[in-house]
Amino acid sequence: MLAVIYVAFISLGLPDALLGAAWPTMSQDLGAPVSWAGGISMTIAAGTIVSALLSDRMTLRFGAGRVTAASVGLTAAALFGFSVAPNYWTLIALAVPYGLGAGGVDAALNNYVAIHYESKHMSWLHCMWGVGASVGPYIMGFALSGGQGWSWGYRYIAILQVVLTLVLVLSLPLWKGRGNSAPFAGEPASEGGADRKPLGVLGVLAIRGAREILIMFFCYCAIETTAGLWASSYMVMHDGVDRTTAASLASLFYLGITAGRAASGFMTMKFDDPTMIRLGQGVLAAGVLLVLLPLPGYGATVAGLLLIGLGCAPIYPCIIHSTPAYFGEGNSQAIVGVQMASAYVGSMAMPPVFGLIAQYVSISLFPVYLIVFLVLMVVMHEALRAKRG
């Protein structure tokens, strides 16, 4: 079962960076302006938010195993549709099932792992997601460099997702074997005798401490996506680094996250989730302050970005893994679903907000922007500990 989940996390990361890698070619072939990629990504994000909010209801009815398998299958179908799409508006239509599938599997699989496995596996699984997200663009590059075009890049990933769907379907008996709580196994709640009803967003918000953990997720994703999107531009416009060098150095942020999650898996054997979150916040703060220091050259910025990535590494997986401990297994699926939705809102909305600040005020406010969300995240974590710790 654990092997299946590791393969699932690698495969789930594969499509995430495809649009960015393929869009320069896709936009020319489809006659679409470069800026229109935002329409596709926002449609995917909107679908993801909807399915994440519905994950509690769907998991209660069908079980985590079936929801995961169906969601991956829906994503595979959307990716294959991308590979044969004749125009931009078809891509927009296909982005809806793409997002619905991604959000469903994200919420169901993360909650299942949080309940049934140790924190080290949550960190390592998210590290494997990063591996998949890194490999996806290479597969697209292989298709483009081989003269097959971007359509075959999407087709290759779709084939891999179909294989994963088959593996998940065949593994459904293993999901049923994990524990006695039906909503978290492969069977629907009606078959397992569970009588809990879906909480819904208002029900989640009424739980003591839920608002704090949702704001934590929002702040974390605002930090991660803003840093990932604007680090290169900050080095070019603030530090005077040439564009090619800045693009390469900005990847150190993602390297920090991936390597940090690999290391975090070992550290969770000694430290609990709240301690890991605090350690991550401390390293993240050191990285942001290093970027903020007015030192000559761009070495401090590069080192700071690496530290920001390392600091981000344990926070996301440890927040998810701590959710059942804080709120109970019966409430965790609903809360994790709303957490995912909150995360996607932060990822979708906050980087463009900083773009406006950079354009109309100054890009030098980049580290200050990150500090604001970091401070709010720290305050919310300590408030959560006071209420539920």
DSSP character at residue 36: G
Query: How many Å separate Cα 235 from the centre of its chain?
Result: 25
pLDDT for res 178? 54
pLDDT for res 9? 81
Range 2-198: architecture per CATH:
Up-down Bundle (1.20)
Report d(CA 139, CA 122) in Å as an integer: 26
Angstrom distances, CA of residue 154 to CA of 26, 43, 150, 231, 276: 11, 18, 7, 28, 37
Residue 269 CB neighbour total at 10 angstroms: 9
**Per-residue tokens: 25:** 């070619």
pLDDT for res 171? 83
pLDDT for res 195? 57
203-388 folds as Growth Hormone; Chain: A; (1.20.1250)
Angstrom distances, CA of residue 110 to CA of 34, 117, 199: 34, 10, 18
Do 98 and 78 meet the contact criterion of CB atoms below 8 Å apart? yes
Report d(CA 191, CA 184) in Å as an integer: 12
Give start-end residues of each CATH 1.20.1250.20 domain in the chain: 2-198, 203-388
Digits of tens for pLDDT over the chain (389 positions)?
Answer: 788 888 888 877 888 777 777 877 888 888 888 678 778 888 888 888 888 888 778 877 877 788 888 888 999 999 999 999 999 999 999 999 998 888 777 777 887 888 888 888 888 888 887 788 778 877 888 888 888 888 998 999 999 999 988 988 888 887 765 543 444 344 444 333 345 677 777 888 888 888 999 999 999 999 988 888 788 888 888 888 877 777 667 778 878 888 898 899 899 889 999 999 999 999 999 999 999 988 777 888 889 999 999 999 999 899 988 988 888 887 887 888 888 888 888 888 888 888 888 888 998 999 999 999 999 999 999 999 998 76
Global confidence as pTM: 0.79
pLDDT for res 180? 38
Query: How many Å separate Cα 146 from the centre of its chain?
Result: 30
Report d(CA 56, CA 62) in Å as an integer: 10
